[in-house]
Amino acid sequence: MWDSFFLPLSVAALASAAAVAPGWHFVQNGTTGVLALEAIIVSPTLAIFFDRASNDPLMIDGHAAWGALWNLETNKATALDVVSDTFCASGGFLSNGTMVSVGGHIPAITAATDGRMGIRIFEPCDDPNGVGCTLFEDQETLHMAETRWYPSSLRIFDGSLMIVGGIHERTPFYNTDPVNNFEFFPPKDGGVPRPSEFLARSLPTNLFPRVFALPDGKVFMVANNQSIIYDIEKNTETILPDIPNGVRVTNPFDGTATLLPLSPPNYIPEILVCGGTNTSDLIQPANLSSQDSASDQCSRMTLTPEGIKKGWQIEHMLEPRMMPEMILLPNGEVLIVNGAQTGYAAFGTVSDPIGNQSNADHPAFTPSIYTPSAPLGKRISNKGMPTTDIARIYHSTASLTPSGNILIAGSNPNGEVVNGTEFATEFRVEYLNPPFMSMARPTLSNVPKQIGFNKEFTIDVNIPSNLKASSIQVALMDLGFSSHAFHSSSRLVFMDAQLSKNRKSLTITSPPNNRVYPPGPAFIFLTVDDVTSTGERVMVGSGAPPPVADQGIRL
């Protein structure tokens, strides 16, 4: 599909393109200051990185920082004042645009407090440089019901965050001190967590469960080799088929998973799970090796009664990957990036660690593209993809940016910041630029700041004259929260759109309701003939704090 970029371009388009030839490129620019163990885009120009409170080089108030604001325009990091330890936490946006960071650990340094019950609030930040934007934390009055290290989180249909699983505190490798329940922020059920049989069944490799909001409001979950659909309103679980061939996909056996793009009129959900390992979870960590092959298996299932009956469909990546990330792209394809070809997540446990403490080895340096609409066996390709020499293994992150390229940062398979060894702490940022970054691109203007559900709205567009506009895709996206090879709340909903005859305006129909797109912030990207615009930020729904009532029309 990317080959279409090499069709003749008009002279005007060529003249406006940058000096780089169209194609995928890695570009290294800037350093993160704190290890980018978690990453989330919080505004059109800013990302937040969180690390463990330890010995990062970026300083604040005379001590090492463990949070930073990353400016996507200047490629510079500024320290964030964080109260509690954000080590191995999760997070996401609420329906009113506030970002919430949840969970964490007992700090290694005295500058931080215990973050395991942490709830950290980052209100919407309007200043492009983040001036005056900060995290709010009041551990006395604002905290979770449970201590949670390695939890997942997910924005659900009423705009709240669902917080899933985790571990109470440090154990050697597997989840042997589990938090087998869910809770919500803001709290539901009087703040009493809901026990989960699924989490109990999926021990001991069920950390950072991969959880997704389905278009009917239910939640799909995969942990270890098991999967369910959880009905939040009825508090019931429906068991789905296991991931085939003994492949396990959650920490410390991290594969990754994504909800494939949802399209009108039926928004049929399909789940794709890739990587991990077929190693038994009964083996003691001391008998695992950094040289054990990861799994190259991808498993895909359509979450309709017929799809579930058919079960998981199997395909294979071009290489095995432990800790890959999958990034939804505005044209509906999925980028597979990062990870290692052998070994495991976590650090300092296998019999033969690499460098200081890495449980993994043989980084996967070349990304692949997964094309959901291609026939089975022909979906995964790395044709035209560049190769990096920066390892992105344990504690690395990746995210689509509002510019349409992919921010890649982090990697530290070690207990603290180390230097001078193989797989040392990695501070360098790389962007993976798609071909359209060096071409004339469509632009959007007069985009409303807020859109309701099941509404038509019209925006202005400028489409480069060399594009025939034979294909128009409008994507509504949550860019997700990247932590531990999982992009929680990440979502792409395609919207029907009509281009005016003069190609100057686009009339778009928003998603039918708050279950198809959980209410909250989003970016709108326009892709014309596979050339994607910059994303424009919108608030989807009323913008009220959670829980919000159902909006739009039921499907």
* 3-state DSSP assignment of residue 555: coil
Identify the residue among 94, 162, 164, 288 touching ligand NAG (CB under 6 A): 94
355 vs 448 by CB, closer to ligand NAG: 355
* Distance from the Cα of residue 453 to its chain's centroid: 24
Query: Contacts with ligand NAG in 133-172 (CB under 6 A)?
Result: none
* 3-state DSSP assignment of residue 161: strand
320 binding ligand NAG? (CB under 6 A): yes
Name the pairing type of β-strands 536-540 and 450-451: parallel
As a three-state string, the secondary structure of 76-90 is: EEEECCCCECCCCCE
3-state helix, strand, coil in the chain (%, to 5): 5, 40, 55
- Counting Cα atoms < 13 Å in the Cβ hemisphere of 86 gives 30
Give me the amino acid identity at 406: I
Distance CA 406, CA 430 (A): 8
At 12, which helix (H) or strand (E)?
A: helix 11-16
Identify the residue among 128, 204, 246, 386 touching ligand NAG (CB under 6 A): 246
Supply φ then ψ for residue 249, to 5 degrees. Answer: -130, 10
Identify the residue among 187, 372, 384, 545 touching ligand NAG (CB under 6 A): 545
**Which is nearest to 416 in space by CA: 102, 86, 35, 74?**
35
Angle, CA 37 vertex, CA 32 and CA 42 arms, to 5°: 70
286 binding ligand NAG? (CB under 6 A): yes
**Cβ-proximal residue to ligand NAG, closest one:** 284
CB of 29 to ligand NAG, least distance (A): 4
Name the pairing type of β-strands 406-410 and 428-433: antiparallel
**Which is nearest to 388 in space by CA: 434, 430, 326, 327?**
430
287 vs 304 by CB, closer to ligand NAG: 287
CB of 473 to ligand NAG, least distance (A): 28
CB of 506 to ligand NAG, least distance (A): 29
27 vs 374 by CB, closer to ligand NAG: 27
Distance CA 111, CA 519 (A): 36
242 binding ligand NAG? (CB under 6 A): yes
Count residues near ligand NAG (CB under 6 A): 33
**Tokens 């009964």, residue?**
282
120 vs 379 by CB, closer to ligand NAG: 120
Identify the residue among 43, 54, 356, 527 touching ligand NAG (CB under 6 A): 356
CB 294, CB 253: distance < 8 Å: no
Within 10 angstroms of residue 101's Cβ, the number of other Cβ atoms is 28
CB of 73 to ligand NAG, least distance (A): 6
Query: Contacts with ligand NAG in 468-507 (CB under 6 A)?
Result: none
Distance set, CA 1 to CA 5, 123, 211, 263 (Å): 8, 40, 30, 19
420 binding ligand NAG? (CB under 6 A): yes
**Span from 7-15, 168-176, 291-299, 361-369 in contact with ligand NAG (CB under 6 A):** 291-299
Query: Contacts with ligand NAG in 380-399 (CB under 6 A)?
Result: none
For the window 294-313, what string marks contact with ligand NAG as x by the rule CB under 6 A? -xx-----------------
**Span from 71-79, 83-91, 378-386, 486-494 in contact with ligand NAG (CB under 6 A):** 71-79
124 vs 448 by CB, closer to ligand NAG: 124
315 vs 416 by CB, closer to ligand NAG: 416
Identify the residue among 78, 181, 278, 331 touching ligand NAG (CB under 6 A): 278
Identify the residue among 171, 236, 266, 287 touching ligand NAG (CB under 6 A): 287
Distance CA 372, CA 86 (A): 35
CB of 181 to ligand NAG, least distance (A): 21
Supply φ then ψ for residue 543, to 5 degrees. Answer: 80, 5
* Distance from the Cα of residue 522 to its chain's centroid: 14
At 380, which helix (H) or strand (E)?
A: strand 380-381
109 binding ligand NAG? (CB under 6 A): no
Identify the residue among 418, 428, 499, 537 touching ligand NAG (CB under 6 A): 418
At 217, which helix (H) or strand (E)?
A: none
Per DSSP, 204 falls in state T
132 binding ligand NAG? (CB under 6 A): no
Distance CA 314, CA 377 (A): 9
427 binding ligand NAG? (CB under 6 A): yes
331 binding ligand NAG? (CB under 6 A): no
CB of 185 to ligand NAG, least distance (A): 7
CB of 326 to ligand NAG, least distance (A): 19
CB of 360 to ligand NAG, least distance (A): 14
237 binding ligand NAG? (CB under 6 A): no
Name the pairing type of β-strands 119-122 and 99-102: antiparallel
For the window 208-227, what string marks contact with ligand NAG as x by the rule CB under 6 A? -----------------x--
Listed in sequence order, the residues at least 6 apart from 543 whose beta carbon sits closer than 8 Å to its beta carbon are: 95, 96, 97, 450, 519
**Tokens 């009423």, residue?**
158
**What tokens does 283 get?**
């083996």
Per DSSP, 200 falls in state H
1 vs 203 by CB, closer to ligand NAG: 203
244 binding ligand NAG? (CB under 6 A): yes
73 binding ligand NAG? (CB under 6 A): yes
Identify the residue among 16, 176, 236, 284 touching ligand NAG (CB under 6 A): 284
Per DSSP, 551 falls in state -
Supply φ then ψ for residue 308, to 5 degrees. Answer: -70, -35
445 binding ligand NAG? (CB under 6 A): no
List residues binding ligand NAG (CB under 6 A). 27, 29, 57, 73-75, 94, 96, 98, 121, 123-124, 186, 225, 242, 244-246, 278, 284, 286-287, 293, 295-296, 320, 356, 416, 418-420, 427, 545
